[in-house]
Amino acid sequence: VGDLSAFRRLTKLVLDGNQIQHIGRGLQTLQMLQQLSLSHNRISNCRGLEGAMLPALTVTAKHASANYA
């Protein structure tokens, strides 16, 4: 996920089904983000979400895994 700093007030982000493979640091600028959905992508780990204060994180699909290492 690339630079999203123009959307700092965003509270919900749904990126389902976009063939995303890496999260990256683009989400770290979204300080008001409360809900993130990354379902049905090709994410193999959750690097890039370190320090994010997300009350709701949805990552589900055959190609997703919840590996924070």
C-alpha–C-alpha distance, residues 53 and 56, integer Å: 9
Instruction: Please name the amino acid found at residue 67.
Output: N
User: What is the C-alpha to C-alpha distance for residues 19 and 48, in angstroms, rounded to an integer?
Assistant: 17
* pLDDT per residue as tens, the chain (69 positions): 777 888 888 888 888 889 988 887 778 788 888 888 888 888 877 777 777 777 766 655 555 444 444
Residue-wise DSSP of 21-60: ----SGGGG-TT--EEE--SS-----TT-TT---SEEE--
